[in-house]
Structure 1
Amino acid sequence: MNDDARTNIGTPAPTPASPGSAELRDQVERTRDELGQTVEALAAKADIKAQAKEKTAAVKGQAAEKAALVSDQIREKTGHAARLVKDMTPDPLLEKAGQAATAARANRTPLLAVGAAVVVFLLVRRSRGRRR
């Protein structure tokens, strides 16, 4: 028995390449690629944890955008309201308010002491009122 007979046992004999076999191989390869893509798509749809993470990230992004938008709108409205109040307030009153603010900044310690005393007085009065 020669070596050729031993190696070819049970294997089909090679056939010469036919003109349509290259097309057939290309079609088989395309079908394999499509099948692989389909399997990947199905696996992605079945991955609920990944879908939940994606959805959470999307909702989080939308919430951040909405919060930024609302924040900008509030800043704009507050600035508009402040300008409107300033425009409608008489000048002598604005001057008096500025003087009072300057005096308060200069005398913070006495103002804080008076404020603390008022708070203590109100708390004592309230606690005595509950005992009765």
Structure 2
Amino acid sequence: MNDATGPLESDAAEQLRRDREQTRQELGQTVAELADKADVRARAEDNPHETAEAARLSAANATEQAHEIADQARTQATHVAEAVAAKTPAPVTDRGRQIAGIARRYPVPLVAAVVSGAALIWWTARRRQA
């Protein structure tokens, strides 16, 4: 009985050795591929033009998105300003334009007045706490 199973066992053992060796080679190749993928610096050095182009595309996309968001914000601000202007009485609007004109002509006195008013409010609040 040993004679009949002897060649079969040696064939099976040889097949197992070959499978084991093939599995080792495949595993080694997989590990090498994963190591290459994990080495970002080497990949960037291998493909500097692709990396630079990807960075340019990313920057262009970010710039485009920023412009779109700014346009949306500008549109919303315009709508809000129009709605406020429509609901604001004419005398208030006229007075606001007068004040804005004065502020443009005399910015330093206006800033001084605002700072003085803020200081007075702060001083009064502090004095009441004491």
**Greater helix percent: which structure?**
2
Q: TM-score, structure 2 length as denominator?
A: 0.48
